[in-house]
Amino acid sequence: MKIQTIATRPIEGQKPGTSGLRKKTRVFMGPGYLENFVQATFNAIGGAKNKTFVVGGDGRFFNARAIQTILKMAAANGASKIIVGRNGLLSTPAASHLIRLHKTDGGLILSASHNPGGIDQDFGVKFNTSNGGPAPEGVTEAIYDQTRALDSFDIAEAGDLDLSKVGETELGSMKIRVIDPVADYQDLMASLFDFDKIRELFASGFNVRFDALHAVTGPYAKAILEGELGAPKGSVVNAVPLKDFGGGHPDPNPVWAHELMDLMMSGDSPDFGAASDGDGDRNMIVGRGIYVTPSDSLAVLAANAHLALGYKSGLSGVARSMPTSAACDRVAEKLGILSAETPTGWKFFGNLLDAGRVTLCGEESAGTGSNHIREKDGLWAVLLWLNILAVRRQSVGEVLSDHWANYGRDYYSRHDYEAIPTDVANSLIHDLRSRLTDLKGQSFAGLKVSDADEFSYRDPVDGSISEKQGIRIWFEGNARAVLRLSGTGTEGATLRVYLEQYAPPEADHQLDAQSALNTVRVATADLCRMEEFTGRTNPDVVT
């Protein structure tokens, strides 16, 4: 095998965000762009020599090409073995599992998650470490530093590899093992959940609609829900992964999964609806006529996880990202277990999971997961819900009402203002930051601020500190707003406004969420001078 050492120069802006490096696909396709980032990643982890990696992606446009490049670079950098999904496909949770199962030195996952795919859409690359989780900030900083100092990359001179068949092949002295992307993940799910109970549920006539949104979870959901658990054929829709996800956003929320939402809100819906995202780590849960917010879903799963095989001895603790609602804290308090609050980004859960401090984690952005892997896991959340329903034999609506009657309801919604010019978004945040200490005691739209701060996090395991992780404003009457800029967008800035209003157990829990949150919405817009800065009066996306 001939190795080429190609001279290159640092490319600006290769700083990983909330979850790896995400850019427009054409940017990634530019000369040396992917190569620089991959070489920087290898350099940052002390080289790839004699190391093993998992490589796979969500099948979006440029996935197949990028994988060929990565394999050739891994071989040139001396890696000993690569495990790759057939046709380059691996969901993010499956990749995380494979890293752990085969004790590899890490993995490269190709995806821009819920962002749309195509030559004019988005692409991304993320490095996961040997625990199976997204690289922590120390590693992503080191990668970024390497991107700024790079002067060459190594790549094998070789033809493309055939990844369409399961089996082993070689590139120079590097072994390449092409595996079935679904099988190991399926075994893992079978070890966590009571598949017999779920089979009985389906056999009793309970029906489900799983919308894979033309993304990577299709083959996984087909094999498990229809193949192994006996859900009727056709329960999984949009199941064939497409390079452009059929032109939509593979984002499982009421806006982008509106077909599923419409069905579930119609008079004649299945008992249970679910969707997953581009790379299979996010989930959406919908009951007949009722949408379950991700924050509520996490709380319900925490309260009921003991009904599933893998969690029957209880949870050590629960963690949520800071903007996620307090609903799961209430469950943790009742269970007498730890509840942790981390910055946005699954990478922040890794240390807590590794240390055994928490078992379940979740985020408002439709991510839920547990210590079975080190990523959020869309299909896992769906199966846990199904396991719980199979034991409780209640509808999603009944489970939720019961939960709220016990714990109260945290009305919750996220409002996204997209494609704001970056300098405008930064000015709004900067202005808010400069007024933080004066806000307490002031009223906006009739709502009094009881406290305000900027979230900073000290990891209790390794002591690392992450600052400026979002602005929190608490209002009297148990309401909260959080403002932060997204770290996953590829165009301008996305301002996320997270709204929350608690209603205690004895209160009315059947209000429409947007109505329940209207006062805190108006107060927050006023307080942050939304219209003055952005000219916007309404968000682009409401989840």
Taking alpha carbons only, the member of 92, 105, 164, 159 closest to residue 131 is 105
Q: Does 113 bind ligand G16 (CB under 6 A)?
A: yes
Residue number with CB closer to ligand G16 (277 or 329): 277
CB of 467 to ligand G16, least distance (A): 15
Nearer to ligand G16, 81 or 347 (CB): 347
User: How big is the site for ligand G16, counted in residues (CB under 6 A)?
Assistant: 18
Among this protein's residues, is 113 annotated catalytic?
Answer: yes
- Shorter beta-carbon distance to ligand G16: residue 325 or 488: 488
Would you count residue 18 as binding ligand G16 (CB under 6 A)?
Answer: yes
User: 91, 113, 269, 339: which one is catalytic?
Assistant: 113
Contact between residue 246 and residue 121 where contact means Cβ atoms under 8 Å apart: no
Q: How far is the CB of 153 from ligand G16 (least distance, A)?
A: 26
Strand partners, 370: 360
- Residue 110 and residue 62: Cα distance in Å, rounded? 9
Contacts of 246 (CB under 8 A, 6+ apart): 213, 214, 238
Q: How far is the CB of 293 from ligand G16 (least distance, A)?
A: 14
Nearest approach, Cβ of residue 394 and ligand G16 (Å): 30
Q: Extract the tokens encoding 403.
A: 């939960």
Tell me whether residue 235 or residue 321 sits nearer to ligand G16 (CB atom): 321
**Closer by beta carbon to ligand G16, 290 or else 319:** 319
Mark 270-309 with x for binding to ligand G16 (rule: CB under 6 A) and - for no binding. -------x---xx---------------------------
Q: How far apart are CA 381 and CA 383, in angstroms?
A: 5
User: Contact region for ligand G16 (CB under 6 A) — 163-171, 362-370, 511-519, 524-532?
Assistant: 362-370
Q: By CB under 6 A, tell whether 78 contacts ligand G16.
A: no
User: What part of residues 84-103 is at the interface with ligand G16 (CB under 6 A)?
Assistant: none
Q: Binding segment for ligand G16 among 152-160, 258-266, 340-348, 466-474 (CB under 6 A)?
A: 340-348
496 is an interface residue for ligand G16 by CB under 6 A: yes
Tell me if 459 sits within 8 A of 137, measured CB to CB.
Answer: no
Question: Which burial class, exposed, middle or buried, applies to 528 when counting CB atoms under 10 A from its CB (0-12, 13-18, 19+)?
Answer: buried
Strand-pairing partners, residue 3, are 156
Helix, coil or strand: residue 479: strand
CB neighbour class for 508 (10 Å; exposed up to 12, middle 13-18, buried from 19) = exposed
User: What is the distance between the alpha carbons of residues 200 and 187, in angstroms, rounded to a whole number?
Assistant: 19
363 binds ligand G16 (CB under 6 A): yes
| Residue 367 interacting with ligand G16 (CB under 6 A) | yes
Q: Which is nearer to ligand G16, 14 or 321 (CB)?
A: 321
Would you state the torsion angle of the CA atoms of residues 76, 60, 323, 343, taken in this order, to the nearest 10 degrees? 0
CB nearer to ligand G16: give 80 or 486.
486
**Among the residue ranges 36-44, 330-338, 359-367, 387-395, the one whose residues contact ligand G16 (CB under 6 A):** 359-367
Q: Which is nearer to ligand G16, 18 or 130 (CB)?
A: 18
CB of 506 to ligand G16, least distance (A): 33
Rg for the chain, CA atoms, rounded: 23
In whole angstroms, give the CA distance from residue 71 to residue 53: 10
Q: Which of 114, 374, 415, 480 binds ligand G16 (CB under 6 A)?
A: 114
Residue 346 within binding range of ligand G16, rule CB under 6 A = yes
Candidate list 14, 19, 297, 368; residue touching ligand G16; CB under 6 A = 19
415 binds ligand G16 (CB under 6 A): no
Stretch that binds ligand G16, among 8-16, 61-69, 344-352, 475-483 (CB under 6 A): 344-352
- Say how far apart CA 112 and CA 116 lie, in whole Å: 8
Among 401, 427, 486, 518, binds ligand G16 (CB under 6 A): 486
Q: Quote the least distance from Cβ 318 to ligand G16, whole Å.
A: 16
The residue type of 377 is D
Binding segment for ligand G16 (CB under 6 A), chosen from 23-31, 68-76, 136-144, 341-349, is 341-349
Q: What are phi and psi of 498, to 5 degrees?
A: -105, 125
Stretch in the footprint of ligand G16 (CB under 6 A) among 34-42, 387-395, 485-493, 528-536 = 485-493
140 near ligand G16 (CB under 6 A): no
118 binds ligand G16 (CB under 6 A): no
Q: What is the residue type of 338?
A: L
- The C-alpha atoms of residue 488 and residue 4 are separated, in whole angstroms, by 33
Other CB atoms within a 10 A radius of the CB of residue 245 amount to: 29
**Please, how many CA atoms are within 13 Å of residue 373, restricted to the half-sphere of its CB?**
32
Please say which residue, 357 or 496, places its beta carbon nearer to ligand G16: 496
Comparing CB distances to ligand G16, the nearer of 118 and 227 is 118
Q: Tell me the C-alpha distance between 404 and 411, whole Å.
A: 10
CB 90 within 8 A of CB 181: yes
Angle at 468 between CA 466 and CA 473, to 5 degrees: 125
Residue 370 lies near ligand G16 (rule: CB under 6 A): no
Compute the distance between CA of residue 456 and CA of residue 181 in angstroms, rounded to an integer: 38
CA distance 507 to 504: 5
In 376-492, at which residue ranges do the beta strands (DSSP E only) sit?
Answer: 409-420, 443-444, 447-454, 457-458, 465-466, 471-475, 479-485
Site stretch for ligand G16 (CB under 6 A), options 144-152, 350-358, 484-492, 513-521: 484-492
Residues that bind ligand G16 (CB under 6 A): 18-19, 113-114, 277, 281-282, 321, 344-346, 363, 365, 367, 486-488, 496
Catalytic residues: 113
